[in-house]
Structure 1
C-alpha cells in the first residue's frame, strides 16, 4: 500500500510538471505572437545615392502621400570607410555603429540556386550557395532563403575596426523577438551588388525570406547601364514573401545603377535618368502600399549613401529619410540621439523599427527611436537647415583660421618682444586685439540669428562686431581688466543661458558642431566647453581681484557658479562627459588655490580619483533614471555588459582621436605656442611675473587654475587640443596685457 502511494505521488508530480511545461510553451508562444503585434509590418524602400532635391523634384505621388501623413528629415549615414565602399553604410545601419564593411559584402545569393565557382577563382563548375557558405565559413548555414557568403570577411573587417559590436544586430534581435525579415531587389550591374543584405541579415549572414537574384532585372536600351528592375517580377516576389514576414526591405537599385554608369553622360542626362528611376520606384512602391493595412504598417524611405553630386558640394553623410505610419504626425523627424528637428542618425534606424513592434530592449543599439515633430513647413525648414549645414561645412575652417590668426598675432605681439629685440606692436593695438578676441565667441554664437548669407559679410560681422563690442565696453569702463572681466562673464552667462534654455545657438555656430561630420549633435561641444571654462575662470577671478572679495565668499561664489557650469556640461544638458570631469577637477583646484593650499602629487591623485568616482556616479544616475541615456550613461552600460575589453576599446578609441587631433587639428598651432610660452615663462621666472603675482594675487591664482584646467581639458577630451588651446587663451591674452602694463 505504501508503494502504491509513492507511485501515485510520482505520477501526479510528473503530470503536474508536464502541465507546467505545456503551459510554459503556450505562454512563450503567446509572447512570441504578441511580438508580432497584430500583423504589424514595416516596409523600407531603399533609394540609394539620391539627393533630397532629386527626391522632392520627382513626380512621386505615393511618396508624397507618405509626406502628407508622416515626417521627413536628413539622416547622418556616416560610416568608417571611403565613399567608394558603399556597403559600409548598409552594415552600419544594421549594426547601429559606424563601421567598415568588407568590399565583398554584396556577395549574397538565394539558397536554392546554383552558381559557377569559376566566378570566384575556383575549379568546379557549379555549387550550391550552402556549399559556398560552408566552404568559406566551415559551418552549415541556418535556414533562410538568402545567404551572404562573405559573412566571415564581413565580421573580420567590421570587428577589427569596431570590436565588441555585433554584426547583423538588427536581424539578430528581430529573430530573437519572433520577427521575420525579408528582402527584395538588388543593385547589380556587372557583378552582384546586394549590400542591402548586410542591413537585413542576422549574425550568421542569413535572411529568412527574399528574392535578390539577377532574374529580377530586365534589359532596357533607354536606361544607363542597359538594365533595370523588372517591376512585375519584383512585385510577384514581394507578394510571395509578404504574408510570411514582418519587416521588408526593398532595394530599388535603379538609382544606384545610374550612379555607377553616369561618367560618360552630361549632367542633364544623368539628372533626367535619376528622376525617371525615382518615379519608377515610386510607382512600384504604390503597388506595395496597396497590399498592406495602412493602419498597421510603418513605411520608411531611406538613402544609405549620398549621391556623387551632393558629395562634391561637401555633403558626404546627410541623406533624405521619410517615415510614415501609425501615430506619426506630419512634420520633421528627430530623435534623442540628435535632439534636432529634421536630423537623425543611422544609429537610430534599428531602434525605430524595433520600437514600432513594441520591442524596447534595444540597448545594444546606441541610438534611439525616431519621432516626429509637427511642422507645417517641413520641406522649407529642411532645405534651409541643409543649406546651413553645407555652408558651415564649407566655411568652418575659414572662421577658425581667422580666429587662430587673430590669436596668433596677439600672442606674437605680446610675448616675442620678451624674448627677442623686436619692439613689438603698439600697446593700444594689442589691447584692442585682446578685447576683440574676448568678444569673438559672443559674435560667433549670434551670427546664426542673422543667417549665413555671405562669407565676407559674416566675417565682417564676427570680427568687426567683436571689435565694436570691445571698443564700446572699453570706452564705458575705461579699464582693460574690467572690460575683460565683463566680456568673460558675459560669454560665460550667455553660454549657460543657451545650454539651459535656448539649446540652439552654439550648435549652429562656426565654433559649434558639424552635422555632416556627425561628431556631436546636441549639447556643448569641446570648442565652446573650453571657452566656457576659460571665460568663467577669467571673469570670476578678475572680479575677485577688482572688488577685494574675501576668501570665504570667494569660495562660496565660485563653488556655486561652477556647480551651474558642471550641470550645464553634465549628461542632462551639455552631454560633455570630458567637460564635466574637467569642471569638477577645476572646481576642486580652485578651492585649493583660493585657500593657498600647496599642491602635491598625493593631493592631485586623490582629487582625480574623487572626480572619477563622481563621474561614475553621474553616469550611473544617467543610465538608471534617464529614460534616454546620453553617451555617458550608455558608455557605463557598455562597460558593464562588455567588461574590460569594452573599456579598453573606448580608451583606445579616445586616445586615437586625441593623437589625431594633436597632429592634424588647426588649433594645435596655438596650443603648441602656449606650451612653449609656459616653458619659457617658467624657466625665466623674472621679476615682471613676480610683480604681477604681487599686484594681482587673486587673478594670478586664476591664471594657475586656468593652466591646470588646460591640462585637464586636454587629458579628458578626445578633441582636447581645441578645448585646451581655447581655455589657455583666457590665460595668455590677459597675462600678455598685464605684462605690457607692468
Structure 2
C-alpha cells in the first residue's frame, strides 16, 4: 500500500469513526432525560441527607496521630465508609468543584459569580432585585418570587456563558432534587472577614453552586454574617457560628438535603503567611477540635434508617497540595454503620471515587433515577478492617506515581528523542565515512554496539516500567516516598540498559521476537490478573489526575500493539530468511497463520472487553493494525500493494469489525459486561437511547484535546522525532524502501501495519498523541537497527 494513499484513507475513515463511536457520549452534556418520572411520588427515599463540606481538609488531617485528639473524626473513619475522591478541575479550586458537583460533569465556576441571601444588599440593591434584573426571574420558569431566606446567584449568566463553550450544564443536581420535591438548604460560607460591607469582603460563597437549580436558586440558606461570629484571635477575626448552623440544620424539612460548609480551616490556610509554625499549629488544632465537637453533635442526631451523613473536602489545603495529595477525603455515615470502604465502578479501585459518582450517589439517596448521559455511578461500600489505613497506604503509592513522573517519565521521553536523533546522526556519519570507517577497527565495533544498546533500551524501557509497578508499593512502605523514587529511577536505568546490553548480543531478528512477544505477553498477563503492575507503574494509571483508573491506558495500549506486531512479523521474517527463497516462493503455513490470527483476535478482544482492557480506541486501533498486518502477511501478493479502493475497503471492514466487537462485548446482555459495565458500555446505552445532540461539539472537543496535547505534551515531541527519523531513513538514500521490501518483506509488513495503527490510535482516542508516540517507537527503532546492520562493517549480528 502506498503510504500517502494509506494516510488519506485512514484519516477520512478515522474522522468518520470519531463521529460514529462517540454518538453515545453526546448525551452526557445535554439536558437530563429522566427515566421513570411517573414514579416521582411513590419513590422510596432517604428522608434527610446532610453533606458537611470542609474546604482545606485533606488526608494529612486524618492520619492516626491527628485522629488521636479528634474522637468524633476517628469514630467517623472507623465506623463509617471512607474514600478518596478525585476533585481535579482545570483550576483546582473549590468553586469549580462545587459547580461540577452540581452539573454532574466537569464544569467551571466564576470567581465573580457569588451567592447571596435574597434579603442581602449588594451595590445598594437587594439581591432579589438584582436576580430579577439579570435573569428575569420570577417569570415563566417560576410561579412565585423566591423566599426571603432563599439563596440566589444573580450572576448565573456568567457561569452558564463560561460553561456553554464546553457544553457542560450547570444546576442539573438542583433541578432533579427540586423536581422530586427534595428541599435544598445550604448553611455556611468561607468569607474572609465579617461585619464589613459586601463590597469590602473577600467573598467565598461557592457551596450553593452545588445545590442550586438551573435558575440559580437554593430553597433556603444562611451565608456570610448569618453563618459566622467574631473571634478576634482567629484568622480574619472570624469563625463559623457552629451553634447557629446546627440549630438551622435541626429545623430541616423532610425530605431534604442540607449542605453545611465549615470554612475555618480554609480561612486559616488563606492567612497562613502571617503565622509562625507554632502559632499556626496551635490555631489549627483548635479549629479541628471545634469541628470535631460539632461533628459529634451532628452524628448524635443521625437517626437509623432515615438520615445519611456525608463529609468531603472541595479543596485540599496548600500543605497537602505541595505533597501531591490531591485526592479529597470523603466519608459516609449512617446510624449503625460499621467500618467500610467506598467502592466505585467508575474507578474499580477500592476507596478511589470520582466527584461524578458523588453526584449520582446523592440522587440515589432519594431513589431518583440517574439521567441518561450522567457518567457517575452511585457509590457502594465494602466491609473491610482497617479501611482508612489501607487507603492511606494506597494514597502513598499514588502519591509516589505522581511525584515520580517529573523524575522518570519526562526525562525518559527526552532520552528517547536524544537517542533517536543521535543514532540517526551516527548513521549519516557512517555513510559519509564509507570505506574509511573500516580502519577504525575495534572503535567502530564498540561505537556500533553502544548505539545498538541505546536503541534497544528504548524498547526494553516500557516493560521494565511495568514490572517495576509490582515493586512500587513495597518500596514505598519500606523506604518512604522520597527514597523510593530515587531507588526506582536508579533501578529503571540499570535494568533497561542491562536488558538492552544482553539482547544486543543476540541476532537482530531474535531480539525483536523476544522483545515484541515478551513485552506483549507481560502486558496481557498483568491485564488479565487485575492490572496490579499497571496500577503502580509510572507509565500506567495516575488517579491523582483522573486520567484512567482501570483497563489498559493509552500508553501501554500503544506499546502492546506495536510490540505484538513487531514480534510476530519478526518471527515470520526469520522463517522467510531460513527458507532461503523469494517472497513469492515461501508463505507461512496454515498453523502459523492460525496461531498469529488467534493471538491478534485475543488481544483485540481483551482491549474491547469491559472487565479487561476496556479501551475502545485501543480495540479499534488494534483491529486496524492487526488486520493490516494479517492481510499483508497472509492474504497473498495482491494485498501487499493495496490500491486506494482495496485499501479503503479493508480499513472500513476492519473498523466495522472493531465497532461490532465493542458493541457485542459491552452490550447489557453480553457475558463480558454482566459483572461490570465500562464507560464504553454506558456510551452505547446512551446511543441506544437516542442521545444524538451536540455531536459536532463532541468531535470538536476531542480534536481540541489532541491539539492541546500536540502543543503541550512531551509525547508529541517523541512522535514528531520518530516520524522525522523514519522519513530520513526512507528518503535517503532514494530507493532504500524498495530494497528493504525485497530483502526484509515481513519487517516491512510490520512497519506498515504499525504505522497505520499509530495513525488510527491518533485519530480514535482523546489522547491519541500518547498512544501514537509509544507505538511508533516500535517502527523507528527497528528501522534504525536495520540501517545500522547494513552499514556496519563488522560481522552481521
Q: TM-score range by the shorter chain?
A: 0.7 to 0.9
Q: Partner of 1:443 in structure 2?
A: 464
Q: Counterparts of 2:238 and 2:282 in 1: how far apart (Å)? A: 16
1:585 counterpart (624, 635, 645): 624
Q: Partner of 2:13 in structure 1?
A: none
Q: Partner of 1:391 in structure 2?
A: 400
Alpha carbons of 1:197 and 1:430: their partners in 2 closer, same or farther (altered >3 Å)? same
1:680 counterpart (728, 749, 754): 728
**Aligned-partner SS, 1:244:** coil
Structure 2 stretches lacking a partner, 5+ long: 1-35, 193-200, 438-443, 477-482, 577-586, 791-797
TM-score by length of 2: 0.82
TM-score by length of 1: 0.87
Q: Partner of 2:207 in structure 1?
A: 196
Q: Partner of 1:575 in structure 2?
A: 614
Q: Deviations over 1:303-355 (max 9, x none)?
A: 0111112222334x411111233796523323011111221111111111222
**Aligned-partner SS, 1:186:** coil
1:296 counterpart (293, 300, 306): 306
Q: Partner of 1:648 in structure 2?
A: 696
**Aligned-partner SS, 1:295:** coil
For residue 651 of structure 1, report the CA deviation from its aligned partner: 1.1
For residue 614 of structure 1, report the CA deviation from its aligned partner: 4.2
For residue 648 of structure 1, report the CA deviation from its aligned partner: 1.8
Q: Partner of 1:135 in structure 2?
A: 133
Q: Partner of 1:539 in structure 2?
A: 567
Alpha carbons of 1:554 and 1:481: their partners in 2 closer, same or farther (altered >3 Å)? same
1:426 lines up with 2:447 in the alignment: yes
**Aligned-partner SS, 1:460:** helix
Stretch of structure 1 that moved more, 465-474 or 255-264 = 465-474
Given that 1:435 and 1:484 are in contact with CA atoms closer than 8 Å, whether structure 2 keeps it comes out as no
For residue 105 of structure 1, report the CA deviation from its aligned partner: 3.2
Alpha carbons of 1:741 and 1:620: their partners in 2 closer, same or farther (altered >3 Å)? closer
**Aligned-partner SS, 1:376:** coil
Given that 2:512 and 2:567 are in contact with CA atoms closer than 8 Å, whether structure 1 keeps it comes out as yes
Report how many aligned residue pairs link the two structures.
697
**Aligned-partner SS, 1:103:** coil
Given that 1:182 and 1:207 are in contact with CA atoms closer than 8 Å, whether structure 2 keeps it comes out as yes
Alpha carbons of 1:301 and 1:45: their partners in 2 closer, same or farther (altered >3 Å)? same
For residue 494 of structure 1, report the CA deviation from its aligned partner: 0.9
Q: Counterparts of 1:263 and 1:106 in 2: how far apart (Å)? A: 26
**Aligned-partner SS, 1:333:** strand
Given that 2:420 and 2:455 are in contact with CA atoms closer than 8 Å, whether structure 1 keeps it comes out as no
1:146 lines up with 2:167 in the alignment: no
For residue 726 of structure 1, report the CA deviation from its aligned partner: 1.7
Q: Counterparts of 2:661 and 2:276 in 1: how far apart (Å)? A: 57
For residue 539 of structure 1, report the CA deviation from its aligned partner: 0.9
Alpha carbons of 1:327 and 1:392: their partners in 2 closer, same or farther (altered >3 Å)? same
Q: Partner of 2:7 in structure 1?
A: none
Q: Partner of 1:411 in structure 2?
A: 420
For residue 409 of structure 1, report the CA deviation from its aligned partner: 4.2
Structure 1 stretches lacking a partner, 5+ long: 1-27, 119-124
For residue 406 of structure 1, report the CA deviation from its aligned partner: 4.1
Q: Partner of 1:278 in structure 2?
A: 288
For residue 676 of structure 1, report the CA deviation from its aligned partner: 1.7
Alpha carbons of 1:338 and 1:158: their partners in 2 closer, same or farther (altered >3 Å)? farther
Given that 1:136 and 1:149 are in contact with CA atoms closer than 8 Å, whether structure 2 keeps it comes out as no
Stretch of structure 1 that moved more, 399-408 or 619-628 = 619-628
1:455 counterpart (485, 493, 507): 485
Q: Partner of 2:548 in structure 1?
A: 520
Stretch of structure 1 that moved more, 408-417 or 51-60 = 408-417
Stretch of structure 1 that moved more, 673-682 or 231-240 = 673-682
Q: Partner of 1:172 in structure 2?
A: 175
Write the mapping of 1:29-40 to structure 2, written as runs, cut at 5 A.
31-37=39-45, 40=47
Q: Counterparts of 1:271 and 1:610 in 2: how far apart (Å)? A: 65
Write the mapping of 1:204-603 to structure 2, written as runs, cut at 5 A.
204-241=215-252, 243-315=253-325, 317-325=326-334, 330-420=339-429, 421=432, 426-451=447-472, 452=476, 453-472=483-502, 478-548=506-576, 550=588, 552-570=590-608, 572=610, 573-594=612-633, 595=635, 596=637, 597=639, 598-603=641-646
Q: Deviations over 1:429-453 (max 9, x none)?
A: 2232233332222220121322354
**Aligned-partner SS, 1:546:** helix
Q: Deviations over 1:109-130 (max 9, x none)?
A: 1x3x2x3342xxxxxx453x33
2:766 counterpart (704, 718, 723): 718
Q: Partner of 1:24 in structure 2?
A: none
Given that 1:55 and 1:278 are in contact with CA atoms closer than 8 Å, whether structure 2 keeps it comes out as no
Greater relative CO, 1 or 2 (CA 8 Å, sep 6+): 2
Write the mapping of 1:651-730 to structure 2, written as runs, cut at 5 A.
651-684=699-732, 686=734, 689-730=737-778
1:185 lines up with 2:188 in the alignment: yes
Output the aligned Cα RMSD.
2.8
Alpha carbons of 1:405 and 1:233: their partners in 2 closer, same or farther (altered >3 Å)? closer
Q: Counterparts of 1:305 and 1:725 in 2: how far apart (Å)? A: 34
Q: Counterparts of 2:655 and 2:744 in 1: how far apart (Å)? A: 33
